[in-house]
């Protein structure tokens, strides 16, 4: 099954984490070159680039009908009413005959809830891939020669209107989730509602108390044991967690549980914040500030690394201008990167990097504001989707290189040399991957008309062919910028009269907890003060 793969178990905690996760898993599925929920047994590995190892994130299984499956190694926690047409047990393993078999011989009363109709956009995607047969088995559409599964790009015309979701049609993350999930993946918290004004999971203390209740603690532990015990070489956990609401408290307890139960395993946490926001809802904004601060401090204490991600310009009460990308028109995006990495036809990687001069080629997405005047201590950079012919300048014999980058003999050397020039003395790790990022549906179609089918930037508009792949550059950086961000967050909390927000404190957070959080934010900020290095 997993062989020598070092498996990772992903946890998604919260509804915004569900949206980010849906994009993430759709991207993974597209990268594997196959359709969601089904494994091509004879030759899936032959369909994948050597640099991808799907068994790290996916698990093999089998339905009651003997159908091979390949589903994310994933636990999702969300609130009542958050799934729409997606069933909690997923769609791959259902068995109508077993559902009808009831051992009880006495009188029965059946209460049947009306099923939610599939989102039309998602239904169009699914209908191109296969059908659910009368016996409850999902049958995928295969290539005529029987080798592999039909690519989505072949199932639809790139300009098909059915690939564009109607305005306002996406209500919940499952409306565009293109991946089939295992029955053990989804855990619904019935105690709180996703919609409506009452029964909301608003505060850190509410979320923290959920995993003190045996019901939800045992549900999470059972799912963890199910996935972990079948792993051969578990390397750790990836946690996507909402910071702005009560899921920040649940995330704090969940990461504490992971650290206690699986000591020595890595825990990488992405703290997610929707943005931008407005000043029109003061209580919501104050709760967001409290939850974010408490979440960052407590989750950081139990994670190997935590990285906030948001399209908002800052973590504080005052809304900052949202993040912009020169070649995207977006309502939501889920990565911190150069999207797409701006390569033009006929230009090499050295040409592209040289045009940035002394500026960084990526846009920060951690709600940390302006980077100027800050220092990077260490960074990890990944560039994918630049083909071999573009990675070096391909100079003719006797031609003098126009820059040190143009003299490099490999793409890896180009990227490493560029990072060294950009930030001398910084400990940098860089990787160059050939496979681009696939952006076929249901990935949002929000790209500039200046991009061609491969995501390369043209001088003018192109002929309307939909973008199918893009080169992408991403980075994780430990920087003195965090000193400024964490200090400001602590300062804003210290200036608030917490007695005005008794409802937040009543949800399970004490005044002493907030004061301790402020002190811990100052302590964390000192770790990133310019002049101090995290590397010794």
Q: Mean pLDDT of all residues in the chain?
A: 79
b/e burial code for range 24-43 (CB count within 10 A of at least 16 → b) = bbbbbbbbbbbbbbbbbeee
Pair 507, 283: CB distance under 8 Å = no
pLDDT per position as a tens digit, 318-345:
766 666 666 665 547 323 467 788 888 8
What is the C-alpha separation between 128 and 169, in angstroms, rounded?
20
Question: Under 8 Å CB-to-CB from 384, ≥6 apart: which residues?
Answer: 432, 433, 434, 435, 436, 437, 471, 472, 473
CATH 3.40.50.150 fits 1-33+52-89+172-310, yes or no: no
pLDDT per position as a tens digit, 145-196:
343 344 444 444 444 555 556 556 678 888 888 888 999 999 999 999 888 7
Region 60-88: mean pLDDT is 86
Residues in the chain: 536
Region 131-144: mean pLDDT is 46
Between 9 and 82, residue with greater pLDDT: 9
Separation in Å, CA 210 to CA 11, 188, 207, 215, 217: 16, 12, 5, 9, 8
Separation in Å, CA 53 to CA 3, 74, 298: 11, 16, 32
pLDDT at 321 (0 to 100): 62
Do domains 1-33+52-89+172-310 and 337-480 share one topology? The answer is: no
- Strand partners of residue 210: none
CATH 1.10.10 fits 337-480, yes or no: no
Instruction: Give domain limits for the chain.
Output: 1-33+52-89+172-310, 337-480, 482-527
Question: Under 8 Å CB-to-CB from 282, ≥6 apart: which residues?
Answer: none
Q: Say whether pLDDT at 59 is over 70.
A: yes
């Amino acid at each position: 099954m997993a062989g020598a793969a070092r498996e990772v178990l992903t946890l998604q905690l919260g509804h915004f984490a569900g949206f980010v996760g849906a994009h993430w898993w759709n991207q993974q599925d597209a990268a594997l070159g196959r359709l969601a929920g089904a494994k091509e047994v004879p030759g899936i590995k032959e369909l994948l680039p050597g640099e991808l190892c799907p068994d790290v994130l996916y698990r093999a299984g089998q339905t009651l009908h003997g159908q091979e499956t390949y589903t994310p190694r994933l636990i999702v926690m969300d609130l009542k009413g958050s799934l729409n047409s997606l069933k909690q047990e997923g769609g791959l393993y259902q068995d109508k005959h077993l559902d009808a078999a009831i051992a009880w011989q006495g009188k029965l009363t059946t209460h049947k809830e009306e099923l939610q109709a599939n989102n039309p956009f998602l239904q169009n995607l699914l209908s191109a891939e296969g059908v659910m047969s009368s016996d409850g088995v999902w049958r995928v559409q295969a290539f005529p020669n029987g080798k592999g599964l039909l690519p989505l790009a072949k199932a639809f015309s790139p300009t098909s209107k059915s690939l564009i979701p109607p305005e306002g049609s996406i209500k919940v993350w499952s409306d565009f989730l293109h991946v089939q999930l295992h029955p053990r993946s989804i855990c619904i918290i019935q105690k709180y509602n996703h919609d409506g004004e009452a029964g909301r999971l608003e505060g850190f203390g509410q979320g923290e108390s959920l995993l003190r209740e045996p019901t939800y603690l045992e549900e999470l532990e059972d799912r963890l044991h199910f996935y972990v015990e079948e792993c051969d070489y578990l390397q750790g956990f990836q946690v996507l967690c909402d910071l702005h609401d009560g899921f920040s408290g649940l995330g704090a307890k969940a990461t504490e549980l992971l650290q206690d139960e699986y000591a020595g395993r890595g825990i990488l946490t992405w703290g997610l914040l929707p943005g931008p926001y407005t000043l029109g809802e003061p209580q919501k904004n104050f709760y967001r500030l409290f939850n974010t601060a408490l979440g960052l401090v407590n989750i950081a204490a139990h994670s190997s690394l935590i990285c906030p991600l948001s399209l908002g310009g800052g973590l504080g009460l005052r809304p900052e201008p949202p993040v912009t990308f020169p070649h995207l028109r977006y309502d939501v995006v889920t990565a911190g990167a150069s999207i797409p990495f701006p390569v033009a036809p006929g230009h090499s990687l050295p040409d592209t990097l040289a045009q940035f001069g002394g500026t960084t080629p990526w846009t920060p997405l951690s709600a940390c504001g302006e980077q100027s005047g800050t220092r990077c201590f260490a960074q990890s950079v990944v560039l994918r989707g630049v083909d071999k012919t573009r990675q070096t300048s391909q100079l003719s014999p006797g031609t003098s290189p126009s820059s040190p980058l143009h003299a490099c003999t490999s793409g890896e050397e180009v990227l490493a040399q560029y990072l060294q020039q950009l930030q001398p003395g910084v400990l940098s790790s860089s990787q160059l991957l050939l496979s681009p990022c696939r952006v076929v549906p249901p990935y949002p179609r929000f790209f500039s008309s200046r991009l061609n089918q491969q995501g390369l930037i043209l001088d003018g508009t192109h002929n309307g062919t939909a973008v199918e792949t893009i080169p992408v550059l991403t980075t994780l950086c430990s920087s003195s910028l965090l000193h400024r961000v964490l200090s400001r967050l602590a300062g804003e909390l210290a200036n608030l009269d917490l007695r005005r927000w008794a409802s937040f404190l009543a949800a399970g957070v004490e005044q002493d907890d907030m004061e301790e959080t402020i002190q811990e934010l100052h302590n964390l900020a000192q770790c990133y003060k310019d002049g101090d290095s995290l590397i010794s």
